[in-house]
Structure 1
Amino acid sequence: MGHRDFDWENASLFYSEKVGEIYLFELGAWHLTSQDYIGNTLRMVSDHARGKVLDFGGGIGTHTIAAALCPQVERVIYCDINPINQAFVRYRVEQLGLSDKVKIQSEISLENQFDTIICFDVLEHLPDPSQQLLTFHKLMRDEAKIILNWYFFKGENQEYPFHLDDPEKIELFLRTIQRHFLEVFHPYLITTRCYQKLILPN
């Protein structure tokens, strides 16, 4: 998918309308074949998630469910633009009796404030990931944390044509993280990172 029909100018349309049920099964299979990695990301959610949580680009909802099961979490907002993903996560949440704790949305108002933001395997799919970091920063309360990862690489043989790999955008992304977030140590040997919000002086 994406080799012929992906266009950065219409990325949102691609992920909301062209990504269908087959991709849902591919995500599920990837979670099953990457149990160690996924397990460690779930441990990170358990370690750091609290209060009101945003799972941005939540996919099949595994991390939304993990956050909702944490006693220190009050509410989880699952945000994904794909209606098939939304329907699948709604079903999973209902089956687990978590409907009162999880809200499913396709967009987030900047008036919201969160204690925790989760963003897995999303940033490399955005045309401007640095701007998304700045949006996250605005959505975070002063003591909030964000758990995220990224993979700015198209693959050795263009396996991931929908991944951003522009060197200038990657550099800007890393500089944005350094300026607005402070990394929080975790013991897991994975690419996922946890950051707390930096409050810059006026």
Structure 2
Amino acid sequence: MEFLSIEQGDLDGFLENAKMDLANLHPGGSLSEAEDFYKEIVGDKHLADLAAWHISSKDYIADTLKLQQRFSRNLVLDFGGGIGTHALANAMSTKVEHVFFVDINKTNRDFVEYRSKKLGVDNKLTFCKTIQETKISRFDTIVCLDVLEHLSDPAFHLDTFHKIMGPNSIGLFNWYFYKGENNEYPFHVDDEQIVEQFFKTLQLKFVEVFHPILITTRSYKKN
């Protein structure tokens, strides 16, 4: 409310309508790159959608934080970190030296920086628009959750992650290549060739590391 200057009486509606408000912004086939949607179109609607989803899916998110706590250490890349829940939790960890929060949406970056100052962990976070801006060649942990399905070439980003991971690094990834029963996720990629290339790249370049938590997020090391 404070960050977006929303009145108390408007908050419930802002969150309740968040998913469809975001979906209705999507321009359909006229969008040339999925990334452009999040960089230039969504504004604060993405914040609302993510906040509503985090509230309604708190048990699932709690499990992803447990998984992250299990593996995160030293230099962490949080790619497409959204409203920053995972980046902030990593910044609070004594096993983590520094978190590089990368998100193409400026509103998201500003909001997470705002949250980090409120929580007193802003000294452990750096905010960047791209991986290149981090100026880090090797990360010990890469977190990429609920992002890959939004990218026009998710296999390319797997290649990128592979290049910046060391032999002992761990990547935490998940995906949802599905537009929904009623096209409620029009911004998700579901092209058969793109998805197939993603899984071929995943199987070629990564080996799954077992973890016992029953969630969609998987942990990987370099093959």
User: TM-score, with normalisation over the residues of structure 2?
Assistant: 0.85
1:16 partner amino acid: K
> 1:118 aligned to 2:117?
no
Partner of 2:111: 88
> 1:162 aligned to 2:162?
no
CA distance in 2, matches of 1:189, 1:170: 23
RMSD: 1.4
CA distance in 1, matches of 2:131, 2:197: 24
**Which SS does the other structure have where 2:123 is aligned?**
coil
CA distance in 1, matches of 2:204, 2:82: 28
- Give the deviation of 1:112 after TM superposition: 2.1
- 1:161-196 CA-partner distances (Å, limit 9, x unpaired): 111111121111111111111101111111111101
- Give the deviation of 1:2 after TM superposition: 4.3
CA distance in 1, matches of 2:214, 2:136: 35
Q: Please tell me whether the aligned partners of residues 8 and 127 of structure 1 are also in contact (alpha carbons under 8 angstroms).
A: no
1:108 partner amino acid: I
1:1-202 to 2 correspondences below 5 Å: 1-3=22-24, 4-6=26-28, 7-109=30-132, 112-198=137-223
Structure whose residues are more often helix by fraction: 2
Equivalenced residues, count: 198
1:122 partner amino acid: V
- Give the deviation of 1:22 after TM superposition: 2.6
- 1:117-171 CA-partner distances (Å, limit 9, x unpaired): 0001110011110011000000111210000100000111111111111112111
CA distance in 2, matches of 1:136, 1:82: 20
- Which range is displaced more, 34-43 or 163-172? 163-172
Change over 3 Å in CA distance of 1:76–1:111 after alignment to 2: closer
CA distance in 2, matches of 1:76, 1:63: 10
Identity %: 49
CA distance in 1, matches of 2:217, 2:40: 28
Structure 2's unaligned 5+ residue stretches are 1-21
- 1:42-99 CA-partner distances (Å, limit 9, x unpaired): 0111000011000000000000011111111101000001111011000000111111
Structure 1's unaligned 5+ residue stretches are none
User: TM-score, with normalisation over the residues of structure 1?
Assistant: 0.93
CA distance in 1, matches of 2:83, 2:49: 10
